[in-house]
Structure formats: structure tokens, C-alpha cells
Structure 1
């Protein structure tokens, strides 16, 4: 969504956007289902404050997908564990509480939306919302893998799809 904002500010720098597991808002609203209630997020943030190490491992398992013994889960967990807890909390709050739905219609460059078929953070309703509300042309490619970080968990699938979308022109 940072790229979407940048494309509005400097459209001449962008010929297209490719969004992997992109979402304009994770928090549910009256007319929008992002997947998380405020209570869920409060618990997430409280977990970070109370036992950061345990939160890192649990969050990594949830986001990456897989058991706690998975090498990818361990590596992702280690990466977030090495952040200062206060900074990690601020970054997590920024991600989970951000709201960019209001700018979607201003994004006029073509958008390629790449999405796992089963992503616990970005639900089908979210990428459908993106496709219907972006100002430019958009296409959705649902990839045959699970998880929120397919570029990490299934690079052998994501890289060829990404390369095709880099070359593909939907104008």
C-alpha cells in the first residue's frame, strides 16, 4: 500500500503496481471486512507487551504458516525477535491499524494483485475489494499456496508468476 500511495504522488515513476498479499485495511468496519476485530488486535498488542519472545514465535507460525519447528517459521521468528520490542510494537500497530481504503480510487496505474488462496491476514473479500476499488485496471492472480508470505514460503511458485506479471501489460 506504500507503493499505491507513492504511485498517486509520483504517477510518472510507475508503470504498474504488483501487490503480493496487499490490503488497504485489516480492521473490520461497518462496510468492510478486513478480518480482524479491535479486540483481536488489542490481544495481539498485549501479547507483544507481555511476552515478546513467545509472541514472536506464535506470530511467525501464524503468518508464515507451519509448525513451530519449521525452518522458515524459526527464521522469521528470529528476525522479528531481533527487533527492539517497542519498535516492533509500533511497526505492528502501524501495519494493523493503517487505513488506505480512501485512496484506492486515486491509484490509476494498472495493478496486479497476487494472492494466496488461503491467507489468514488477507481474506478473499479484501483482494476483491482492492480489485473493485482501485482507480486503474487491475487483475487478480490467486496462487496455489497458503499463507501470508508466499514469496518466503513458496518462492519457486511466486517468482515465475511475479516475472510474468512484470512483463504483462494490462493497459
Structure 2
């Protein structure tokens, strides 16, 4: 099976322009980028895809054994780039896909020109002086709740992740996205996400990198973005005047402008 078919790859925009590859986060699919794609498409070739098990990807390609770690998702990203012969790619990774992007770029740095890490977290669990935002007990409770009642967990957690309680339609959209995900797949991906520790991978990044955080984020709180920035040599840190973990939905104009401003520089 081709990577393009497996991952439901869609290409749009300025086909002769630089390539921007958009990697969505947990419980989402490529539809979550729709508000920023038009702005990007004016000057970039925009490549969208669904992680295996999400959206319109080929679910038959998913196994719990393969996708128990973020490495498999990073391998898929590299396979897409290799099969399509994409070079000098600007890879944008949201949430857990920020670390997937780090792993992909470390594996094949020759394929990528720049990384944009949108609301990243290399580790969600606090560890000594490192503050990821959650205790080990918090994450254990989160995963137990997800296992026991995935739909109920989705209805509770999605609005927290999205933030912006004054705009409930945003939380509802994320809830619906979560609920479209097969609970078995969500359980495995959640463990790969919330139990991962990619702090040691950050100093290995050799690609020019922009770290984007928001002013208020319940999942990747302020300080986590700075940690990522300080551990990737030569990276830049931008704090959007926005709320929530998904600024491509809650603040699409500012998010698109940040990506374009960084991707368009040489």
C-alpha cells in the first residue's frame, strides 16, 4: 500500500511553491487545519494527511503493536516525504505531532528545511525540576477514564483542551472529532502521547525550528514551550495572544501568519 493512500494524503495550494506538510494531533484529522489552509495555499504547496487510525486513513494498516510508540508515526511522515520525493519541507506538527515532527526530522534531516512545533510538549508528566503540567497520578487517572468511557472522556476533556469556554462551538468540534476515533485506537495513541518522553530528542534537532505556544494552554502550559525552545539550538519561540491548545482553530489568522512569516524566510 502506498503511503499516500494509507495516510489519505491531499495536496493543494501553489503546486510550484515551497512545501508545507501539516501533521495533526491526537484525536484529530487533517480537517482541523482547514481555517489556515487558504492563507498557506496562496504561496505554498500544502500537503495534508491523516495519521493511520484517524480521519480517512486506511484503518487496516493500524496495529496496536506498531503504533504503540510515536516512532511509527514519524516513520509514516518520512515515508510520505520519500514516496512523494518531497524536499526542503516545512513540517508543521501540532501537539503530539510536534514530537513526531522532531523524530521525523532527526531521522531524515535532509528532507526537512524547517520545523514548526505548535503547542508542543516533550513530556506531559512532571519530573524533578521539569514541569510538564501533570503528575503521574493525573495521567494515570486520565488514561483510566479514557479506557472506561471514551465518549464520556471526550465530552469532558475536549472543551478543556480547546479552552475558549465563551466559544463552546470550538469545544464541540473537538469533541465530535474525538468521538469519530475508534476507542481502541484512541487508547493506544493516548498512551503513546501522554506517557512519551522526548526530551532527549530535542538537542538532536539540526533543522531550523519555530516553537509556537499560546498564552493559556491547559495541556502544554507556559514554560513547556520555553523548555522546548531552550533545548533546540537556534530555535525561536513565539507566544500567541491566544487561548487553548488548538490555535489553528481558536486563532487561525495569527497561527497562519506565524507559520507564513517563519516559512517564508530564508
TM-score normalized by the length of structure 2: 0.60
**Comparing both chains, which one has the higher relative contact order based on Cα–Cα distances under 8 Å and sequence gaps of 6 or more?**
1
Q: Are the equivalent residues in 1 in contact too, given 2:120–2:220 (CA < 8 A)?
A: yes
Q: Give the whole-Å Cα distance in 2 for the aligned partners of 1:160 and 1:85.
A: 35
Q: Which residue of 2 aligns with 1:47?
A: 145
Of 248, 251, 255, which residue of structure 2 is paired with 1:158?
255
Q: Are the equivalent residues in 2 in contact too, given 1:150–1:158 (CA < 8 A)?
A: yes
Of 62, 65, 75, which residue of structure 1 is paired with 2:163?
65
- 1:18-167 matches, cutoff 5 A: 18-67=116-165, 70-134=168-232, 136-167=233-264
Q: Are the equivalent residues in 2 in contact too, given 1:11–1:109 (CA < 8 A)?
A: yes
Q: Give the whole-Å Cα distance in 1 for the aligned partners of 2:219 and 2:151.
A: 21
Call closer, same or farther: CA 1:51–1:67 in 2, change over 3 Å. farther
Q: Give the whole-Å Cα distance in 1 for the aligned partners of 2:167 and 2:246.
A: 17
Structure 1 position 69, deviation (Å):
7.6
Gaps in structure 2 of 5+ consecutive residues? 1-98
Structure 1 position 133, deviation (Å):
1.0
Q: Give the whole-Å Cα distance in 1 for the aligned partners of 2:206 and 2:150.
A: 40
1:43-81 per-residue CA deviation (whole Å, 9 max, x = no partner) reads 111211222222111111001113498222112111111
Q: Is 2:115 the counterpart of 1:17?
A: yes
Compute the RMSD of aligned alpha carbons: 1.6
Structure 1 position 157, deviation (Å):
1.9
Q: Are the equivalent residues in 1 in contact too, given 2:162–2:246 (CA < 8 A)?
A: yes
Call closer, same or farther: CA 1:45–1:96 in 2, change over 3 Å. same
Point out the more displaced range, 62-71 or 89-98.
62-71
More helix by proportion, 1 or 2? 1
> After TM superposition, where is structure 1 displaced by more than 6 Å over at least 4 residues in a row?
none
Call closer, same or farther: CA 1:47–1:15 in 2, change over 3 Å. same
1:141-166 per-residue CA deviation (whole Å, 9 max, x = no partner) reads 10000101101211122111211111
Point out the more displaced range, 156-165 or 20-29.
156-165
What's the secondary structure of 1:35's corresponding residue? coil
Number of matched residues? 168
What's the secondary structure of 1:144's corresponding residue? strand
Gaps in structure 1 of 5+ consecutive residues? none
